[in-house]
Amino acid sequence: MKISQLFTKTIKEAPADETAVNAKLLIRGGFVSKVMAGVYEYMPLGFRVMEKINNIIREEMNAIGGQELQMSVFQNKDVWSATGRWQSAKDVMYQFKDAADKEYGLGFTHEEPLAAAARHYINSYKDLPRAVYQIQTKFRNEPRAKSGLLRGREFLMKDLYSFHASQEDLDQYYEKVASAYGRVFERMGLKTIRTFASGGSFSKFSDEFQVEADIGEDIIYLNKSAGRAVNKEVYTDEVLAELGWDKKSLAERTSIEVGNIFKLGTKFSEPLGLKFTDEKGDSKPVIMASYGIGLGRLMGTVVEVSHDDRGIIWPESIAPFKVHLMSLSRNEQAEEVYQELTRQGIEVLYDDRDDKTAGEKFADADLIGCPWRLVVSEKTGDKIEIKRRSEKDSRLVEVPELAKLFL
């Protein structure tokens, strides 16, 4: 991609109404554009990052047997009334009427519609277990959208649902998902802390994946030796006793919840009549679990924990481009490098603008934050200057060596 052709451009000053670092940098770099409180549009650079995140998640979900599907965002009232959530979730679910006064909602999660859909396909113990997931836009009427991409009213979410014949089977799969979640976050360069959190009605705890960050809205108590934490919402003497944790050994931290996994039991399958026939011929409700990752929040979190005063420092796995190539009055030679790297399948963002000063180009490279920066200039002669975004020092390399560095 040539920057001279790019749809967006960078801006020097972030809009005054953004205070969160993630929003400031992502807007300045042209990754996202704000529409309303808690609603952002993903511009080409941001979309590329999002696609990389999606693909990491897809790989890990597929690896544990998840089957990707796509539910509808548009929701009919009946299925939600069956569990009582049409009423109880009124504050969070966007609900409205059509011209004929019929009521509808927008999906903020999909337990009900998934359980309803599964009735068509799950009838026997032979149909279990199953796991399906989607990556889809969710809508939530947040009373207070805030912190840039971290709490939105419209956001992309990966939601996985699993269906089981027994509690033991669910428990086993649940741990598989927890491991997969750990890999997803690790591949994006995030250190997550698995955290005991409120479990809702079915199980004692749910598990959250928390990333330490001052901007986070969660308070967790970290047990360093265990590498686990407990969320403030369940931080009680009884819980600590149950976990066998000593209050004095816990450290209070502020953190961002990037993922949450829940054992649902039969909370949704029973009211929706999702049953199966077991080996003995008995009819039983299917046991379910759901697992969520907020994609926009994840992207915002990476920016929060990986930036400096000049801009974003993307991990290679989700950077919009691997290489940021810039020409300082050497467009002919830079063009060759661009063509060569592109031919080898390396993603290059090429700053070919000849009406910009060197300073602006360097500033943009740092702001956009691709992992590798290449400079072609008078100074570099026949060689190319190469520098990692995360490091200070650069060095000169011969053109033929270049590609090897990135493969």
Partner RNA sequence: CGGGGCAUAGCGAAGUGGCAUCGCGCACGGUUCGGGACCGUGAGAUCCUGGGUUCAAAUCCCAGUGCCCCGACCA
DSSP SS3 for 1: coil
**From the list 4, 37, 51, 345, which residue makes contact with RNA (rule: CB under 7 A)?**
37
Under rule CB under 7 A, residue 391 binds RNA:
no
Instruction: Using the minimum distance from each CB to RNA, give the nearer residue, 17 or 279.
Output: 17
**From the list 143, 244, 281, 400, which residue makes contact with RNA (rule: CB under 7 A)?**
143
Instruction: Using the minimum distance from each CB to RNA, give the nearer residue, 140 or 276.
Output: 140
Q: Is the bond preceding residue 129 a cis peptide, omega within 30 degrees?
A: yes
CA distances from 400 to 283, 335, 336, 360, 378 (A): 67, 15, 11, 28, 19
Query: Would you state the structure tokens that stand for residue 191, as one six-digit string?
Result: 């250190």
Instruction: Using the minimum distance from each CB to RNA, give the nearer residue, 78 or 217.
Output: 217
Single out the residue of 3, 256, 27, 38 nearest to residue 144, CA to CA: 38
Binding segment toward RNA, per CB under 7 A, in 270-278, 289-297, 312-320, 337-345: 289-297
Smallest distance, RNA to C-beta of residue 19, A: 4
Q: What is the dihedral of CA 391, 396, 399, 403, to 10 degrees?
A: -20
| Site pattern 358..387 for RNA (x: CB under 7 A) | xxx-xxxxxx-------x-xxxx----x--
Binding segment toward RNA, per CB under 7 A, in 67-75, 115-123, 163-171, 351-359: 351-359
Q: What is the dihedral of CA 140, 146, 150, 155, to 10 degrees?
A: 30
Instruction: Using the minimum distance from each CB to RNA, give the nearer residue, 19 or 179.
Output: 19
Query: Would you state the structure tokens that stand for residue 256, as one six-digit string?
Result: 């961002």
Smallest distance, RNA to C-beta of residue 254, A: 10
Q: Residue 391 burial by CB count (10 A; 0-12/13-18/19+): exposed, middle or buried?
A: exposed
Query: Would you state the structure tokens that stand for residue 266, as one six-digit string?
Result: 């039969």
Under rule CB under 7 A, residue 157 binds RNA:
yes
Under rule CB under 7 A, residue 394 binds RNA:
yes
Element (H, E) at 311: strand 311-312
Binding site for RNA (CB under 7 A): 9-20, 28, 36-38, 85, 89, 91-92, 108-109, 140, 142-148, 151, 157, 200, 217, 260, 262, 290, 292, 294, 310, 328-329, 354-355, 357-360, 362-367, 375, 377-380, 385, 394
